[in-house]
Structure 1
Amino acid sequence: MERTAKQTFSAVGLAFFTYIAVSFVMQIIFAMVIYSMVDIHNPPSWAMWISSVVPMYCIAFPIFIIMIKRVPTEPFVETRTLGFGGWLKFFVLTEFAMVAGSIVASSVGKIFERVNVNTNATMESLTSTNSVLAPIVLVILAPIIEEFLYRKFLIDRLHVYGGKVAVVTSAAMFALFHGNFSQVFYTFLMGLVWGYVYYKTGKVIYTIIMHMLVNLGGSVVAVYLINNLNRFDLSHMDMAALISYPEALFAMVGILLYALIIFGLAIAGLVCFIVGFKNRSYSQERLELPKEGRVATVCLNVGMILFLLGCVAQFVLSIFNGLIK
């Protein structure tokens, strides 16, 4: 059984490594072609999105599907349907995971700042553009494709070796795939929530909607509110000036309301986590891996090692990208 499991994890890891490698190579080629046709000193905002998204979603993703389809799937032992109340419980858990992970990322970012590295550089480059493609990619395309990648295609093939193994592996690979320290912590925690939801329901639509809402809030709404507030020099405004300048006041109120909503949802998620933690459960799977040697079986194989090396390379590139001048 251990040999079969290693072969499965290796095949899965190789498919994901190929997705990363093909995306990287094709992004370089697309960037060279696209940026040779535009003003390199003032490139249009669509250039970055086309050169990064088309290679990933139109070239690497189909190749990934061909490879992952060779790995057999097995039906879930049992699944259930989530009502709105159940879905909402896991959504607030998602918000708690996002806030908790972001706090950890902020702490790590402060450590890196001491050596002049900006760990938010990758996210800043993604959210700084005002291209109409940004919300389409971040709110629609990315959630759909990433949920199929890291929930459906992955957990469908790994849960037979243990539900917990599949969920944790899914969350870890999802987090490492993002390749930067500003996202790795909260994506791992959210991945645990979403992986569990998919494992218990077998319906990826639940996690796609959660993913879309999180990206809408964090990558579109929050960015718009922050950019809107940054238009004003608040350092020279007292309360009287703010009241007499309604646009600045509304911008500040918008930020405060957004923060209250997010932290309110996160607190509700913390309560759900404390109350429901003991109620989590995993079915007994046909090829359940023993606890002893479980990590070695999952990680110490050619495919997973290549995937980890590919992710490490992305982290190194993000560090170089984040060097503070």
Structure 2
Amino acid sequence: MFYPIIEEFVFRKILAKKMVGHGNTFYVLTSSFCFALVHIVSQGAASLIMIFLLGVLLSVVYLKTGKIIFPIMLHSFSNLIIFLVPKTLSNFSELYLVIYAGIIFVTGMVYLFRLVRKIKKYEGLKVSLKEAMKDILTNKGMLIFFVLTIFTSVLQQILCL
């Protein structure tokens, strides 16, 4: 219940203030990557791409609206779906689930492609990608974030053995 609120303030509001100066695409990709990394701990590496794409959607919604409430609501709705859908679909056949997943995947890819085209249409990077990556990788906060994420992931794997 509280995680979507906290995560959206961190990955949308706070990171946007720090990164939008490097360009919207840079902000969207970086915040989505960090969002996905944090979720490796609870969701596992297999969910990395799906969570990254959710992060892209939430970041774009925040950029377009300028209001944090919309990503919070979408994030909360996503968590609700993730919780309820497996319980609901457990009674269906495997073929139905594959078809269902395929439809959702294709729909998601179409919308992602459209979002990326819109972002590129209105985007103008203010710094080179090389400079922006240097800023991220040498930032103390990001280094601490990466170390803590890796430590937590390793600790979870050790405790699960």
Which residue in the other structure is 2:104 paired with?
265
Asked if the contact 1:152–1:204 (Cα under 8 Å) also holds between the matched residues in 2, the reply is: yes
What is the distance in 1 between the residues matched to 2:86 and 2:132? Answer: 41
The structure with the greater share of residues assigned to helix is 2
Select 2:133's aligned residue among 295, 314, 319.
295
Asked if the contact 2:31–2:55 (Cα under 8 Å) also holds between the matched residues in 1, the reply is: yes
Asked if the contact 2:36–2:52 (Cα under 8 Å) also holds between the matched residues in 1, the reply is: yes
What is the distance in 1 between the residues matched to 2:110 and 2:52? Answer: 20
Task: Determine whether 1:313 maps to 2:140.
Answer: no
* Structure 2 counterpart SS, 1:289: coil
Select 2:36's aligned residue among 175, 193, 202.
175
Which residue in the other structure is 1:225 paired with?
88
TM-score by length of 1: 0.42
* Structure 2 counterpart SS, 1:252: coil
What is the distance in 2 between the residues matched to 1:169 and 1:273? Answer: 16
Give the letter for the 1:252 counterpart. Answer: F
Select 1:252's aligned residue among 82, 92, 112.
92
What is the distance in 1 between the residues matched to 2:131 and 2:18? Answer: 20
The CA RMSD over aligned residues, in Å, is 2.8
Select 1:278's aligned residue among 117, 129, 139.
117
Q: Per-residue deviation at 1:197?
A: 2.0
Which residue in the other structure is 2:18 paired with?
157
Asked if the contact 1:181–1:315 (Cα under 8 Å) also holds between the matched residues in 2, the reply is: no
- Greater Rg over alpha carbons, structure: 1
CA deviations 1:41-86 (Å, max 9, x no partner) are xxxxxxxxxxxxxxxxxxxxxxxxxxxxxxxxxxxxxxxxxxxxxx
* Structure 2 counterpart SS, 1:175: helix
Q: Per-residue deviation at 1:261?
A: 5.2
What is the distance in 1 between the residues matched to 2:130 and 2:65? Answer: 28
Q: Per-residue deviation at 1:171?
A: 0.9
Matched pairs, number: 157
Q: Per-residue deviation at 1:146?
A: 1.3
What is the distance in 1 between the residues matched to 2:14 and 2:128? Answer: 23
CA deviations 1:150-209 (Å, max 9, x no partner) are 111221332122212221221121112223424433222221222122122212222222
Asked if the contact 2:24–2:119 (Cα under 8 Å) also holds between the matched residues in 1, the reply is: no
What is the distance in 2 between the residues matched to 1:275 and 1:172? Answer: 20
What is the distance in 2 between the residues matched to 1:153 and 1:170? Answer: 10
Gaps of 5+ in 2: none
Match runs of 1:50-89 below 5 Å: none
Gaps of 5+ in 1: 1-139, 230-250
Select 1:166's aligned residue among 5, 19, 27.
27
Match runs of 1:94-173 below 5 Å: 140-173=1-34
* Structure 1 counterpart SS, 2:129: coil
* Structure 1 counterpart SS, 2:28: helix
* Structure 2 counterpart SS, 1:280: helix
Identity %: 27
Asked if the contact 1:222–1:258 (Cα under 8 Å) also holds between the matched residues in 2, the reply is: no
Give the letter for the 1:141 counterpart. Answer: F
